Amino acid sequence: MHIPPNWGTFGVLIVSFLVFWFIFSRLFFRPFLNLLSEREERFRSLNDRTEQLLKEARAADEAREQRLNAIHREALEHRDTERRRVEAEAAQLLETAKADARASLDAARTRIEGELKAAEHDLEQMGRTLAEELAERVLGRRLNGDGKGN
């Protein structure tokens, strides 16, 4: 059994297929494909923006690290400068204190030497006076008329 093709039905099917293809293409396929391409483009744009932001973040981190290193170096230099200044000031104060102590010692030594000489002189005078009094008591008379020794 052989069924001959019905060319009229076949033509109507082809025409209706093309009409539905055109309608579906306009209503569904193109908008969906446009939506997919827009989405893909948006993802590509977001990916590019993300990469740009990552580069900027890395550059900002490097700049911050450089600033921190510079600040750290400046702080170390400042600390060393201040330490040297304070050490010099302490050395100067120490030298001043030593000079003051030497001056005080010299003044005390001079004063003590003066007091020692005065005490020696007083002891010498006292010794003479006591010797005269002792001699006068032993002899029972005055030794000199003026009361002074040689």
Helix (H/G/I), strand (E/B), else coil: 31: helix
Query: Which contacts (CB < 8 Å, 24+ apart) does range 91-100 have?
Result: none
Mean pLDDT by 10 residues, the chain (150 residues): 80 93 87 91 96 96 96 96 95 95 94 93 91 86 61
**Amino acid of residue 73:** R
Q: What is the pLDDT of residues 96-123, one digit of tens each?
A: 999 999 999 999 999 999 999 999 999 9
Question: Is the CB of residue 142 less than 8 Å from the CB of residue 134?
Answer: no
For residues 52 and 37, give the distance between their C-alpha atoms in angstroms, rounded to a whole number: 22
What is the structure's pLDDT at 143? Answer: 77
What is the structure's pLDDT at 1? Answer: 67
What is the structure's pLDDT at 3? Answer: 76
How confident is the prediction for the chain on average, in pLDDT?
A: 90
What is the structure's pLDDT at 145? Answer: 55
For residues 150 and 135, give the distance between their C-alpha atoms in angstroms, rounded to a whole number: 14
What is the structure's pLDDT at 149? Answer: 46
36-to-28, 30, 32, 43, 130 alpha-carbon distances in Å: 12, 10, 6, 10, 135
SS3 content of the chain, % helix, strand, coil (to 5): 90, 0, 10
Question: Is the CB of residue 76 less than 8 Å from the CB of residue 69?
Answer: no
What is the structure's pLDDT at 146? Answer: 52
